Structure 1
Amino acid sequence: MVQQMKLPPVVIAFLTSIPLAMVSTLPVQADGGDQTQGYTTYSEKPLSDRLPSASNIHHGGNQEIVKANQRTWLQAVSNSDPVDLRTECSEHLEEAGATPKGWLRDRMLQCFSDRKHVSAIGFDGEPWGEISWDMWVLGYANHGVRQVDYLISMENITYFSLPGKSVNWAQARFDITFNGCSTQMNCPSQTDLADTVLGWEVRPSRSLTFSSDNNTGSSPDFRVPAWLTMNHRFTPAASDNLAPSMQAGMFESKIRFDSAGRTVVGRDYGSVFTDAPLVYVLSLSEDAVKYSARHIYDAQNHPERTFPSWVGKTVPGGSIQDPLTRLTDQAKISENRDASIKVCKDIWGEGYAAGGLQCDEYPFASTYQGGKYGPDSNGGLLRFSARPIPGDDNNAGGGSRLGQKFYWENRVLDGEAFYVRIDQ
């Protein structure tokens, strides 16, 4: 039984539509061959919209059975689904179907949802009919186990044949394949993702689990990255004289396994979706961190108000184009902090800490942009700020909340980039 996931506050994304104009950009096989050779492409818009004479549309699938099967699967892989990813994804459907990444709630949860269409095309190029379905993929990374689980569903399948045409829809096949599993991973069998249309109607949900052994990967934290991509194929029944269809690169999911350890990320082992943006958020209106938030806001937006002071000063961390990167070496973190304390003493005097104040630094001491190592890496420019603020506020804004909440729950490793946003 997989340990229960601890989800951060921030999918696989699957089968998103590729316009016909973009066929030339489809992925190629490892040997350089075009994966789409011999296939027609999936439809961007339903055939029924273009040919309103369609009739006798078949509807299949029981949504209550689908949801019950999903609940059973979730209990098996994670003991619970405290966030209810599917419901949240339903509130982000435009984003969930817009790109191959789908919608990433955070580094632990990813989803895709979109209505898909395939026209059955004769070898003369004429359409015979169409099959459509709701494509869902729910992706679950794990804070505690080097494992990523995907639940893949084809729901609400409908199909029709055009007048004068007959398609053996029930015996046509859908084949789903995930590419990108490496020798550093435990790659699952994918035979269950190939079935007839009738088979998908009877059992709409299937699952895959990718994992990696704890001591596999690059040191010191045994990182194993992977870029999973998804192909979806439609093969007509052998009795039908129809062309197969394919959508390559419909989905992508970038994942990473690590064994960074409890002192770095709270739990020894885990996995994340690396395409999820890493944003540390504080609010000026939250009393517990209002001084920390104000300090960061000034540093990012009014660096002329900060010390050390110099003409043209800028401070990093306000955007992904000029990010902060995590530092885990405790000795270097202490050196960053000492450099900031020196500024507090130089500007406010030796007694700067009177009344329970502490020297707050931004960028944080736990980043490579801190008071000591920031200047060392950017030509000596002092692109940091230090000022005394109340100790409780400092410990909340740049201490436990940053460390145990943001770093740990997102499994942010040494050298990983993030940025800081200050809300009103």
Structure 2
Amino acid sequence: MNVAEAADAPLTRAELVAFVRTRAQRAETGDRRVALRAVLSELRRPDYARLPGQQAIDLLVQNQWKLEAQKTPRQLIALNEAVTQLMELPDSPASVRAYIAANAPLQADGRAESSQPAADPRSESARALADEVSRSAAGSVVVHTSQVRGTTVRYRSGSVQAPRSGLYNFGDGIAQPASETSREVRDAWRAAGRGMYEGVAFVPATEQLYRTEQYVARRRVFGQDELGTRNVRDGTRPMMVDGPQGSEPGVHFGYAFDPNQRGGRPGEELPMYGDTASPRRGNMLMVQAVLPGSVADRLHEAIEQDPTLARVVAERLVLRNGGLDPAAWEGRGDERPMRPPWAHVPASEPIHLVTQGSTGAPVIRTLHQSESIERLADQVEQFTGSGQARQASTGQRSTDGSREYQPGQGWSNAGSHHDSRSGGRAQ
């Protein structure tokens, strides 16, 4: 193919993303920026990953109605203009490529996607892995971060507008903003210490057991005392969930970004994670989900190879299972983005990995970004291929259990009861 033929070749999805991203960065008004960012987020969804440019545009036109939610009249006008312009791009591929090339410096935003037709095998495989994790985690995800009142989020009952501003929870694993995250994951972050800036956790998920006992409800001077019954805690057992291998012990996956609000402090070479709901400096992002053990094992291995995959998974859980408005995640208008400043984290800053050892004590390691993309791609493709060969995992809770998960050691037999430091999934 000569140079002229290459310039007139059909546009790819990656080139559409590069074009819209550049337009969003150069937008003259906040309304136009919001509209373009909504289109950009839609094009980055996994449904578009393997589509040619024209098919990606056709699918986006069909889904335009989804992008119109929570938009002002001016933003709706800008959105319609952006989609109309996108429909005209396939007629002038050479001009689109020239525009992208002329504005190349504006595209250095740290995103994994490339403006070149050839796709990065790591980014495509990572998105496939994140999709599998999102499906497996359905009904168990809890997100804790600062949010602005009125932002679209999801709870167990469905999508709603955030009732208040500030640091609150949302996600398809809880029923209301005040719900707490699991004690297992909180203990993991506590064990990692206040020096942790970014962390990933894999700890066994347990549920509380109870037994019924009698007690004296009322003592009588004459005659027999009046007795009552009550439920008291009686140990824990593994939480069982439905997975690719049937009923499996569940594992808490946790991700945390700046939970100790170190970013932006004097003497710290760490980017500030600004609060979206107020002018203050500190924000944090904590995500947790319950995964089938087999899925958690494969995700654990992939993150060992490239810790930054945890960010891809966390983003997918926030947007899909947490139902967060993509425009708020990327930064609506002049508002700060809810997405952490991942692109500005120094490469030397480690990601802490917290697991549970054979004795039940936390095991803490520091991970650094891997340079072996080819090895990672092969491993992730093996994970996604094995997931497709099995039945889709739903992440729904089962009722019995007799095995115990130890990260890195597989599954071991255990009784129906075992001691743990914590209770079950957040309700």
Q: Normalising by the residue count of structure 2, what TM-score does the alignment of the two structures yield? A: 0.24
Q: Which has the larger radius of gyration?
A: 1
Name which structure has the greater RCO, CA cutoff 8 Å, separation 6+. Answer: 2
Q: Hey, which of these two has a bigger chunk of helix by percent? A: 2
Q: Hey, which of these two has a bigger chunk of strand by percent? A: 1
Q: Normalising by the residue count of structure 1, what TM-score does the alignment of the two structures yield? A: 0.24
